[in-house]
Amino acid sequence: MHSARLSLQPGATIGNISPRLYGSFLEHLGRAVYDGIYEPSHPSADADGFRTDVIELVRELGVSAIRYPGGNFVSGFRWEDSVGPKEERPRRLDLAWHSTETNEVGLHEFQAWLDRVGSELMLAVNLGTRGVQEALELLEYANHGGGTELSDRRIANGRTEPFDVRIWCLGNEMDGPWQLGHSSAEEYGSLAAKTAGAMKAYDPDLELVVCGSSSSSMPTFGEWERTTLAATYELVDYISCHAYYENTGDLGSFLASGVDMDFFIRSVTATADHVKAVKGSDKTMNISFDEWNIWYNTRFENVDKITGTDNWPVAPRLLEDTYTVADAVVFGSLLITMLKHADRVTSASLAQLVNVIAPIMTEPGGPAWRQTTFFPFAATSAHGRGVALDVDLTTSTYRTDRFGDVDTVDAVATHDAESGRFAIFAVNRAIDGPTELIVDLSALDAAAPDLAVRVSTLTDPDLDAANTREHPDRVALTELSFTREGDTVRLELPAVSWTEILVG
């Protein structure tokens, strides 16, 4: 049996956990919006056409902020299309996903939905085919109280109070050749700086996210961050990271995807700190990891991609990956990685939320259900609060083709001062058997023996097990037994598992 030992250290603070770390993302893509959150004919639909069964699941998931309306979609988006009377809104071709956008759900409708689920709006502006002027007009429409043409138009469209959007994305993946308006780092940095400066001339307290690399495998990675931040450093508050992972047949390396995410975060923070030093700035740049997930992009590129100049469907089934137990374990490990960088990753958006590479699935006229990835997110969002704590971890290792020797167990802890609860999140990457984990609580002093311990895990002997419409409850968190002797807790982490240990 593999072995690992960790010590819960309440003084080993990494940083405060921002509630925005548990954000998500809804793009006008596939069935994310239409037939996802919005289906007026559904038996559960409310008066505005939103599925209440989905609203309940989003609340259960615990999503703090939602990035909208894209993604690649935003680089061709005209925000004016999404406001005003629905019957007057134009239908447009969406070149990003080769679909037709009806604009039936727009800014007002989406904010009304956010109010129901209790999430903050993270709004993206189009810096692909548009620029400074359009961003300023959207800002005035959304945030100004009244007395101007655009703010009065918002009022006439039914919302007296401003949307008061606090966090804005300056475009999307502008380093990617697939992006409408794709540009060089110099070109994008200049446009982003102009846009940021103009937006902060209206409100210097806005929080702005500048585009980083679309992935750490981009040929311009690192240099893109340096050049973009050199142009925008004092004007923006976050630089974005995007990362997706898939099992290409090498399970051992797939289970170690957190190693790659860790490298990505460390590289971006090092580059940002270099720019900070060069500029002599006293400002520290944070990361918005505003796209992350398991995504079987190879399948999309080779099988599901829509083509043809006469083929522009409305809300087609796109990127509807079914997630397995193995996927959920990796997914949970990515949450661990971000918590281990809570001092710098202060915003994150799970991409995406409903139907499209999502923890929640729906069927038109039918049920909604939780995918396997739903459970690690919901548990971490609920219990991973307060401050992130480093754990003194010793563990066996295993060999991977991609990353070399990798820790069998990875873990992080959190402490919520308000509830007094500690949480430990751990992943066992071992494929060939369980790992004995010994948890040392002695640093909690005399209180340790009186603190309750609860353990739950996500695992299954069939790593391909999944939740489907026919079997929506096949996979879920289950209780895991443990033994306790004074300050020591012993448990066996099942092979390929994600586990939550609650103390207090």
At a CB cut-off of 8 Å and minimum separation 6, what does 390 contact?
9, 12, 13, 14, 340, 412, 413
The CA distances from residue 10 to 14, 15, 419, 423, in Å, are 10, 12, 14, 11
Q: Among residues 39, 291, 492, 500, which one is catalytic? A: 291
Task: Find tokens 């703090």 and name the residue.
Answer: 64
Judge contact between 53 and 366, C-beta under 8 A: no
Tell me the C-alpha distance between 380 and 392, whole Å. Answer: 20
The gap between the terminal CA atoms of the chain, to the nearest Å, is: 29
Strand order in the sheet with 421-428: 478-479, 453-458, 497-503, 421-428, 409-416, 387-395, 2-16, 435-440, 488-493, 483-485
Q: Identity (one letter) of the amino acid at 164?
A: D
**Is 291 known to be catalytic?**
yes
Tell me the C-alpha distance between 6 and 102, whole Å. Answer: 53
CA–centroid distance for 152 within its chain = 34
Q: Which helix (H) or strand (E) holds 54?
A: helix 52-61
Q: Among residues 173, 225, 492, 500, which one is catalytic? A: 173
Tell me the C-alpha distance between 362 and 478, whole Å. Answer: 24
Task: Find tokens 């459970």 and name the residue.
Answer: 375
Q: Which residues pair with 8 in a beta bridge?
A: 391
Q: Is 152 left (phi over 0), alpha (psi -120 to 50) or beta?
A: alpha
DSSP per position, 221-290 = TTHHHHHHHHHHTTT-SEEEEEEEE--SS-HHHHHTHHHHHHHHHHHHHHHHHHHHHHHT--PPPEEEEE
Is the CA virtual torsion 389, 483, 438, 22 positive or negative? negative
DSSP per position, 275-342 = HHHHHT--PPPEEEEEEEEE--HHHIIIII----TT---BS---S-PPPBHHHHHHHHHHHHHHHTTT
What stretches of 45-106 adopt beta strand conformation (E)?
65-68, 92-94, 99-101
Judge contact between 103 and 165, C-beta under 8 A: no
**Is 56 known to be catalytic?**
no
| Nearest C-alpha neighbor of 439 from the set 425, 429, 460, 459 | 425
Write out the catalytic residue numbers.
173, 291
